[in-house]
């Protein structure tokens, strides 16, 4: 630091001795000070506007219109529909609404299970690998492989493993272990939910592991030493020190996992194709299918907006709850 700071006064005086340059520099400097941050943000802002905010507004507008394939070329001329699209979406006695609510409930259950398992496996792995042991570095790298693999390559491999006749899963549980009378179907019917869950957890837990490892690095070592001196065993240390210290990291992690899992489109799409079996019909794929299969963009948009409202409410409540909790513990 001292070496970089040393020549500074000299430079300053040199500039002062040059009367012509100083005022100009100061004026442009002030201009820059006001405008520069905005100028730097401009590209990011424009792109976010074009690809996120404008589409969101258009999505809301479209949800109030009767937008079918005939109006795609000029969606602004599509007839006004008022709340018709919403009425259709939430009419739980009619097929569309019934399918939507079923898909929504499936997604809720799926998300709860997947986030829970990802969190548990990720945390356990991070805690177990907090201390150094032989092969720790290798395992750490290996555990990141599911995270690094492109979704479609990984999921297509799982689809192969879950094939009824030539997959490894049925080979093991039916042929080798004899657990079932006939080889079960995994990619259609009720089992599809389990299949989707396994793949989702496989793909998702390394992220929890990564974040938890980062969180663990921030716990000072001497707390453990003090606890050990006081006679706390390993399990007690984990319960009393490690897990409570991870709480702030947990709050971010669970929210991110929730949003990713709830909105996941890729896993069911690669696993099942355009139409997932009823038991594994996640909401994103469901909206995609009801929009692009029937070319009814109005209803699809209404469903998207409902989904967005739900996520906003849940996220808002969650943030409120967790920041309240934090304030309470701080006080």
Partner 1 sequence: MAPPQSFLWVRRIFLTLLTVFVVLPVFVMVTSSLKPLEDVSGKFQWIPSGLTISPYFDIWDTVPLADYFMNSLVVAGTATVCSVVIAVFAAYAVSRYNFRGKRVFTVTVLSTQMFPGILFLLPLFLIYVNIGNATGIALFGSRGGLILTYLTFSLPFSIWMLIGYFDSVPRDLDEAAKVDGCGPLGALFRVIVPAAIPGIVAVAVYAFMTAWGEVLFASVMTNDTTRTLAVGLQGYSTQNDVYWNQIMAASLVVSLPVVAGFLLLQRYLVTGLTAGAVK
Residues 122-161 that bind partner 1 (CB under 8 A): 124-125, 128-129, 131, 139, 141-154, 156-158, 160-161
Cβ-based nearer residue to partner 1, 19 or 93: 19
Q: Which of 22, 31, 45, 105 binds partner 1 (CB under 8 A)?
A: 45
Least distance CB 169 / partner 1 (angstroms): 9
Q: Which x/- pattern over 255-284 shows residues binding partner 1 (rule: CB under 8 A)? A: ----x--xx-xx--xx------------xx
- Residue 92 CB, shortest distance to partner 1, in Å, is 21
**Number of amino acids touching partner 1 (CB under 8 A):** 103
Which one, 38 or 93, has the nearer CB to partner 1?
Answer: 38
Nearer Cβ to partner 1, position 101 or 210?
210
Contacting partner 1 within 185-244 (CB under 8 A): 202, 210-211, 213-215, 217-218, 228, 233-235
Does residue number 55 form part of the binding site for partner 1 (CB under 8 A)?
yes
Exactly one of 27, 48, 69, 220 binds partner 1 (CB under 8 A); that residue is: 48
Q: Is 59 in the site for partner 1 (CB under 8 A)?
A: yes
Distance CA 138, CA 130 (A): 14
Q: Which positions from 79 to 108 touch partner 1 by CB under 8 A, shown as an x/- string?
A: ------------------------------
SS3 labels along the chain: CHHHHCCHHHHHHHHHCCCCHHHHHHHHHHHHHHHHHHHHHHHHHHHHHHHHHHHHHHHHHHCCECCCHHHHHHHHHCCECCCHHHHHHCCCCCHHHHHHHHHHHHHHHHHHHHHHHHHHHHHHHHHHCCCCCCCHHHHHHHHCHHHHCCHHHHHHHHHHHCCCCCCHHHHHHHHHCCCCCCCCCCCCCCHHHHHHHHHHHHHHHHHHHHHHHHHHHCCCHHHHHHHHHCCCCHHHHHHHHHHHHCHHHHHHHHHHHHHHHHCCCHHHHHHHCCCCCHHHCCHHHHHHHHHHCCCCHHHHHHHHHHHHHHHHHHHHHHHHHHHHHHHHHHC
Q: Which of 31, 51, 108, 317 binds partner 1 (CB under 8 A)?
A: 51
With CB under 8 A as the contact rule, the residue among 31, 36, 108, 317 that binds partner 1 is 36
- Identity of the residue, 80 or 235, whose beta carbon is nearer to partner 1 in the bound complex: 235
Cα separation of 37 and 318, whole Å? 32
**Closer residue to partner 1 (CB): 191 or 245:** 245
- 93 vs 217, beta carbon nearer partner 1: 217
């Amino acid at each position: 630091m001292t070496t970089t700071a040393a020549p500074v006064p000299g430079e300053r005086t040199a500039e002062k001795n040059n009367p012509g340059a100083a005022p100009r520099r100061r004026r442009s400097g002030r201009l820059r000070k006001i405008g520069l941050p905005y100028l730097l943000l401009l590209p990011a802002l424009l792109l976010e506007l074009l690809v996120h905010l404008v589409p969101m507004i258009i999505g809301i507008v479209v949800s109030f219109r009767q937008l079918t394939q005939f109006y795609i070329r000029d969606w602004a001329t599509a007839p006004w529909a008022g709340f018709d699209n919403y009425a259709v979406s939430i009419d739980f006695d009619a097929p569309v609404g019934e399918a939507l609510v079923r898909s929504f409930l499936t997604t809720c259950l799926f998300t709860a299970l997947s986030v829970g398992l990802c969190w548990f496996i990720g945390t356990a792995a991070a805690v177990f690998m907090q201390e150094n042991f032989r092969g720790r570095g290798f395992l750490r790298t290996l555990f990141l492989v599911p995270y690094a693999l492109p979704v479609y390559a990984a999921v297509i491999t799982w689809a192969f493993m879950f094939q009824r006749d030539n997959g490894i899963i049925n080979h093991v549980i039916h042929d080798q272990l004899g657990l079932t009378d006939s080889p079960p179907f995994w990619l259609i019917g009720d089992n599809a939910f389990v299949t989707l869950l396994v793949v989702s957890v496989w793909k998702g837990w390394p992220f929890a592991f990564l974040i938890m490892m980062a969180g663990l690095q921030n716990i000072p070592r001497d707390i453990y030493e003090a606890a050990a001196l006081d006679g706390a065993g390993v399990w007690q240390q984990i319960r009393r020190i490690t897990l409570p210290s991870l709480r702030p990291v947990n709050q971010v992690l669970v929210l991110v996992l929730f949003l990713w899992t709830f909105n996941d489109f890729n896993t069911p799409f690669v696993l099942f194709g355009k139409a997932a079996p009823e038991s594994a019909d996640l909401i994103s794929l469901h909206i995609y299918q009801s929009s692009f299969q029937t070319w009814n963009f109005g209803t699809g948009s209404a469903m998207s907006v409902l989904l967005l409202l739900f996520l906003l409410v849940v996220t808002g409540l969650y943030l409120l709850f967790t920041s309240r909790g934090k304030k309470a513990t701080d006080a």
